[in-house]
Structure 1
Amino acid sequence: MTTVEQKNPSSGYAMTTLPNEYGLMGAEGIGDLVKRATSHAPIATYVEEPEPPISWSAIADAGWDLAGIVEDDTCASTRDLVAIAKAWGYGSIPQPLLPSLLAKRLAAAAREVDGPVTFALPLGDGALVPFGAVDGIVVATALGDIEGEVTGAPAGEVDGLDLVGRGIHAPTATRFTAEAAREVALVLAAEVLGGAERLLADSLSFVNEREQFGRPVGSFQAVKHNLATATVDVEAADTALIWGSQQEANAFRGALFAVDRCIDAAEIAVHVHGGLGFTWEVGLHFPLRKMLSVRRIIDRLERNHS
């Protein structure tokens, strides 16, 4: 992507479409980790296995859960976190990297924890604790410049929508400052953007291999048009997250727009797979269900913090 700078009238600083070196290196490192761990095998082959393809120790030993912490007045910007989250989302790995990264960035109590940390996201009738079903995980009670602590994950019903997130339902949400809520929304949306990019890549591979009437189905004009539309959706989502990450007044708007475009792209991916797209074994539903879950969470965050 070509760097494009423009003046932000509300703050006076120059914006760029690209993350800084921190974000570029982080996204590259995470992308390489995901690629080596999964070899881009179908998501369905590993997402429900008892042991994820990337262990928590591999994440912690490399310090990825600490990637957002401020040290010596330098740290990843929100734009950098968007790039890192997108690279992580491409793999649909059932590990609490992003909740831990955000919690340790935004809560002093969470930074004292060696293991994984998560938080409780608001829903209309309670909260959702991403990876609350993971053994040994703790929950930050507040994110942002407000006092909080970490507690054990509450007992609750397992979430049936986001199967990658392995969440549980809880009665009380974590308290967020408006700034923290915006950053969480953008990172969650960037994660599902990575999933949308994965579904698009899988769809392109599928239509070039699948044949009908002696020709790859990707050669049919209707299929080309659908995939072109999905490509535009994914690019629009990416642009919206860049915009939202650098203009805080538009953070929720950009995140919601991005997730909606990702859902559109995912639905096209299911469609171009034909009847196979609806089967559990193909696994297209794993990123799609996460998108639907994130959509409702960001909507609630915006309601609570606009």
Structure 2
Amino acid sequence: MGAEGIADLVKRATSHAPVATYVEASEPPVSWAAISGAGWDLVGVVEDESGATTRDLVAIAKAWGYGCIPQPLLPTLLAKRWSSAAREVDGPVTFALPTGDGALVPFGSVDGIVMASTMGDVEGGMIEVPTGDIDGLDLVGRGVCAPVATKFAVEAAREVALVLAAEVVGGAERLLADSVAFVNEREQFGRPVGSFQAVKHKLATATVDIEAADTALIWGAQQPGNAYRGALFAVDRCIDAAEIAVHVHGGLGFTWELGLHFPLRKMLSVRRIIDHLERDYA
């Protein structure tokens, strides 16, 4: 139900307009007030042994990822799930993810956001986002590079990896939908390019990749010991699908204005982060 609600929010806010039309705009298509006012930032909080499961969060993250909306819903949802100090914060919350040569703070450039120094059964609290360079890879995430990563409990790190990967799967589904719409409209030799067998085969391959990625996340959510394996497999399949999306768009696929690079850049960033989460917390 939560995933359906998020999907409806994304659809109404963006009307499935091209990502490039809003991802770099000064005001995102969904305001933080709309997110927090509906309680989406607290949907992951577990009380009295009841609440959203990892599988639920994976479904929600995938629905949110379809929109590629530059708002810190998922970092806040995860931080408030795993940190009691974060739950005391009214506004958005984030954390610092390991990258090997430092850390990345998703949405660290957003005004008023604060950072959890720890998540899970680890002592710590809320701190200001460290001053650092703006991340140049994941443009949707509006991140900031930091010298030190948040300390995660093992269970928290696994869930973060799965949720990040699920957001990426949503982005891949968006790229596939945009690609199908494009090849049905674009014509060559008086026919839609989508009627050509080679294009059909590429899109069929992308569909299989995304279905396999989704299945891997469900598997990882149900078997925590395989969380990283499922998450990494899912992201790799999404990268394959994204590359196909660029190919079927032809020369337009490489243009900034079309915006296919926004989900692809996120995939590459998430791939690196999950790899280092596994190294640090497996």
TM-score (norm. length: structure 2): 1.00
1:22 aligns with none
1:239 paired residue number: 215
Equivalent in the alignment of 2:5: 29
What is the CA distance between 1:72 and its match in structure 2?
2.6
Paired position in structure 1 for 2:252: 276
| Secondary structure, counterpart of 1:128 in structure 2 | strand
* 2:187 is equivalent to residue 211 of structure 1: yes
Q: How does 1:43-62 map to 2 (within 5 A)?
A: 43-62=19-38
Matches within 5 A, 1:65-144: 65-144=41-120
* Candidates 148, 152, 157, aligned match of 1:181: 157
Q: Which string of whole-angstrom CA distances, capped at 9 and with x for unpartnered residues, describes residues 140-190 of structure 1?
A: 000111111001111100000000000000000000111000000000000
Q: Which residue among 32, 39, 47 is the counterpart of 2:15?
A: 39
Give the aligned residue type for 2:222.
Q
1:199-236 superposed Cα distances (whole Å, 9 cap, x missing partner):
00000000000000000000000000000000000000
Residue 4 of structure 1 corresponds to which residue in structure 2? none
Aligned to 1:16: none
- Mapping 1:242-281, distance limit 5 Å: 242-281=218-257
Paired letter, 1:234: I
Give the residue type in structure 2 aligned to 1:288: L
Q: 1:123 Cα deviation (Å)? A: 1.0
What CA distance in whole angstroms lies between the structure 2 residues aligned with 1:201 and 1:253?
26
Q: CA RMSD in A?
A: 0.4
Task: Return 5+ residue gaps in structure 2 as ranges.
Answer: none
Partner of 2:262: 286
Provide the residue aligned with 1:228 in structure 2: 204
Unaligned runs of 5+ in 1: 1-24
Once the two structures are TM-superposed, the CA of residue 41 in structure 1 deviates from its matched residue by: 0.1
Partner of 1:153: 129
Cα displacement string for residues 76-99 of structure 1 (whole angstroms, at most 9, x for unaligned residues): 000000000000000000000000
Name the residue aligned to 2:146: 170
Runs of 4+ in 1 over 6 A off after TM superposition: none
C-alpha distance in 1, partners of 2:70/2:238? 19
Aligned residues: 282
Q: Secondary structure at the match of 2:215?
A: helix
CA–CA distance in structure 2, aligned partners of residues 125 and 86 of structure 1: 28
TM-score, normalised to structure 1's length?
Answer: 0.92
Indicate the percent of aligned positions where both proteins have the same amino acid: 81
* Helix, strand or coil at the partner of 2:216: helix
CA positional deviation for 1:71: 2.1
